[in-house]
Structure 1
Amino acid sequence: MATIKWGVLGYARIAKTSVLPAIAAAHNSELRAVASSDPEKRKECQALFGCPVVYSGYDELLEDAEVQAVYIPLPNSMHKEWALKAIRKGKHVLCEKPIALDAADALEMIQAAQENKVLLMEAFMYRYTDRIRQVKAVLDSGEIGEVRYIQSTFRFLLNRPNTIKVQPGLGGGSLYDVGVYPVNFVGMVMNGQLPESCVSESVMENGVDMMFSALLKYPGGVVASINSGFNAFAQMNSEIIGTKGRIEVPDTFQGSEGAITVVTEAGSRQVAVQESDRYTLEVADFADAIIAGRQPLFTLEETHRNMQVLDMLFASMKSTGCPTGIFRKPERA
C-alpha cells in the first residue's frame, strides 16, 4: 500500500502530543523528518518517534527530496511564509489553523497551491469526528426544521506564562486560537453562507483578545453567537435551534465518546457519539487525498470563507467609526 512520507516544521506541543502520534498511527503515512533549532527537542523526537532524519533548519527539511507532505504547527504569524516555501518546493501542506492571519494571505496560499499542483489543507481535526457526523445527519434529516439560532463556545483558562498564544506579533489571541472553531462550526451549519453583519466585543490585554464574543446575522434572519477566551473556566459546547427543535452539542470539538441531544415536541432523545481518533483520521485523509489525486474532506473554499468571517470579526472589534462597532458586508456593485 502506498504511503506518504511526512516532514514536520517545528517540534511544537501539538506536533508532539497529537500529530506525530497520528502520523505513526495512520495506515498510509510515515514520518521522514522533523526540523527544530533546539538540539534537545531533536534528540527527544528521535527517541520518542524514531524519526529517521532531524534538521536544525526548516529550509533544510524542505530540500529533502523524500519528504512529500509537510505539517506546519508554527506560530500563526509564520504559517503563510513557510506554507508558501513548502508549496514552491512541491510539498503538499497540512497547516494548523488559522491557515493565515487574513483572507488575502489565505487566498495567496490557495492560489500558490493550485499553481504548483499540490494539496493544501487547514487542520480542523474536529471535522473528522463522529460527533460532527451525527450533528450533520440530524440537520440533514430536517428533524429540527429550519435553523434560526446557533450558539458555539470554546474557552479555557490559560495558565502558561509567555506562551505564543498571548504574543500579538505571533498572531496570538483567543479568536485566532480557539475562536476559529466556533466560527467554523457556525459556517458549517450555515452551509458556507457569509454573514451579512456582525458585532464584536473583546477583553484585550497586551495587544491580544483574552476573551471575545460576537453576534453574526445571516441571510434569512439566522443569528449566531460565538465566544472564545483564555481568562475563564473551560467551556466547550454548541446549540442549534430550529423551528421544530434543537440540537445540544457538548464537547463540540473533542473526539471523545458521548452523546448529542435532540429536543423536539415529541420529547428529548440522545444520539450516541463514538470515540474518534480525529488527528489520525485527518492525517490519513490528507495522505489518501494525495495518493488518490482527490480533494481532502476539509476544502479550501471553506478555509477562505472562514478567513473572510475572521476579517469581518476583527474589523468589527477594531472599528472606531461606528459607535456600535457593527460591521456590515459591503454591497456588491
Structure 2
Amino acid sequence: MQEIKWGIIGCGDVTEVKSGPAFNKVSNSSLVAVMRRDAAKAQDYALRHGVPKWYTDADELINDPEINAIYIATPPAQHEAYCLLALAAGKPVYVEKPMTLNAASGRRMQAASVLYNTKLTVAHYRPAQPMFLKIKSLLDEGAIGDIRFASLQMLQPQESAIIANSATNWRLDPAISGGGLFHDLAPHQLDLMVYFFGEFDQSSGLSLNQTGKARVDDLVTGHIQFKSGVIFTGTWCFSVSAQDKTDSCEIIGSNGKISFPVFGNRVVLKKEGKEEVFVFDALEHVQQPMIEKVTAYFLGEAENPCSAAQAILSMELMDSFTYQK
C-alpha cells in the first residue's frame, strides 16, 4: 500500500471543515468516496468537495475495491456496526470520537481489530496538535515541578456555539449519542488527561439531569486518581447562563501551574511570580495533524496515534462518571 484512499461513512457537518478536506491535503492520502443515506446530501457533499464517488449504502462504499481505508463520522450509535463491517472487509478504520456508546462496545471493536488483524485508530486528535504537544513538553521537562492535581471546568449555556452544528440535535438523544453533550465533548478532555498523566487506578463521578429539558444528564462531575499520583477533578454543566460559560483546565505543580482552554489556543505558564503566555494559530482543519499520523500508521510508517486500548480508557472514565456499566 503506497497511498491511503479514503472512504467516509457519514459525511455530515463535522466533516465539512474539521476533517474532510484534510484527507486531500495530507501526503499519500486522498478522499475517493463519501456515503450518506440521504442521496441528495451525499451527492452535494461530493460535488462541493471534489470527491469522485458518493454512495447511500455503507456496504457498497466499504466493498469498493479502490478504497483501502474507512473514516467513520456518523453519530456514535452507528460506530460499532460500521467498524465491524469495515474491519471484516480488511479495511483499516479511523473512527470519530467518542469511540462508541460505552466501554463494552469499544472492547468489541478492539477485539474485532485483533480478530481480523486490521488497524483501528480513534479520532482523539488534540494530542496531535501543537498546543497540546507544547503542554506535554512543559510537563515532561518539569516546568512546574512535580504534578499535584488537575482541575477542569466546562460550563456552557444550553445553546452553546462550542457544539458542532447538526440538522437534528441527536446529541441530546442518549440512544444515539451515549449521553448528551458530556459524551460529545468529554472524550477530548479525558483523552488529554490520559495523554498527560498516563493510566489511572480509580475513577468515580456523579451525573444528573437538572433541567429535565432532554433525556440526558446536563451536569456531570468526575474524579480520577492516576497511577502517577496525580488527582483530577472535572465539572461539566450545560445549563449555565451565557455570562458564566467557562472552558478552563489548570494543572497545578509543586513549582507553578499551567492553565489553558481545551477548545482555545492560549496556554499560560505561571511560576516563581512570573507568567509566560504561548499563543497558537488556529488550525484550518483541526484534524489534519492527526490525519497525517493516521495515514503514516496505516502505511506502516509510524505507531498508532490513538489505539483502541487508549480510547477505551476514556470510555471507561465516562462510564464511571455517569454510572454506565
Q: Which residue of 1 aligns with 2:298?
A: 290
Equivalent residue letter for 2:110: I
Q: Contact (CA 8 Å) 1:198, 1:217: kept in 2 or not?
A: no
Q: Taking structure 1 as reference, are residues 266 and 229 closer, same or farther at Cα in structure 2, changes over 3 Å only?
A: closer
The structure with the greater share of residues assigned to strand is 1
Please identify, of 151-160 and 230-239, the stretch whose mean Cα deviation from structure 2 is larger. Answer: 151-160
CA RMSD of aligned residues (A): 2.3
Secondary structure, counterpart of 1:150 in structure 2: strand
Q: Taking structure 1 as reference, are residues 224 and 67 closer, same or farther at Cα in structure 2, changes over 3 Å only?
A: same
Q: State the alpha-carbon separation in 1 of the partners of residues 309 and 187 from structure 2.
A: 15
Q: Which residue of 1 aligns with 2:254?
A: 243
Q: Contact (CA 8 Å) 2:6, 2:71: kept in 1 or not?
A: yes
Secondary structure, counterpart of 1:209 in structure 2: coil
Q: Taking structure 1 as reference, are residues 10 and 158 closer, same or farther at Cα in structure 2, changes over 3 Å only?
A: farther
Q: Which residue of 1 aligns with 2:188?
A: 181
Q: 1:270 aligns with which of 269, 277, 280?
A: 277
Matches within 5 A, 1:43-54: 43-54=43-54
Aligned residues: 312
Shift of 1:157: 3.7
Q: State the alpha-carbon separation in 2 of the partners of residues 200 and 24 from structure 1.
A: 42
What per-residue deviation string (whole Å, max 9, x for no partner) do you get for residues 43-68 of structure 1?
21122111111111111111111111
Secondary structure, counterpart of 2:303 in structure 1: coil
Secondary structure, counterpart of 2:17 in structure 1: helix
Q: Which residue of 1 aligns with 2:34?
A: 34
Q: Which runs of 5 or more residues in structure 1 are unaligned?
A: 320-333
Q: Contact (CA 8 Å) 1:23, 1:280: kept in 2 or not?
A: yes
Equivalent residue letter for 2:108: E
Q: Contact (CA 8 Å) 2:36, 2:57: kept in 1 or not?
A: yes
Q: State the alpha-carbon separation in 2 of the partners of residues 122 and 74 from structure 1.
A: 13
Secondary structure, counterpart of 1:278 in structure 2: coil
Secondary structure, counterpart of 1:231 in structure 2: coil
Q: Which residue of 2 aligns with 1:87?
A: 87
Secondary structure, counterpart of 1:17 in structure 2: coil
Q: Contact (CA 8 Å) 1:37, 1:57: kept in 2 or not?
A: yes
Identity of aligned pairs, percent? 23
Equivalent residue letter for 2:308: L
Q: Contact (CA 8 Å) 1:76, 1:99: kept in 2 or not?
A: yes
Question: What TM-score results when the alignment is normalised by the length of structure 2?
Answer: 0.87
Please identify, of 64-73 and 261-270, the stretch whose mean Cα deviation from structure 2 is larger. Answer: 261-270
What per-residue deviation string (whole Å, max 9, x for no partner) do you get for residues 296-323 of structure 1?
22233311222222221122xx79xxxx
Q: Which runs of 5 or more residues in structure 2 are unaligned?
A: 160-164
Q: Contact (CA 8 Å) 2:5, 2:30: kept in 1 or not?
A: yes
What per-residue deviation string (whole Å, max 9, x for no partner) do you get for residues 146-175 of structure 1?
211212234544547841100122124122
Alignment partner of 1:21 is 2:21? yes
Shift of 1:247: 0.4
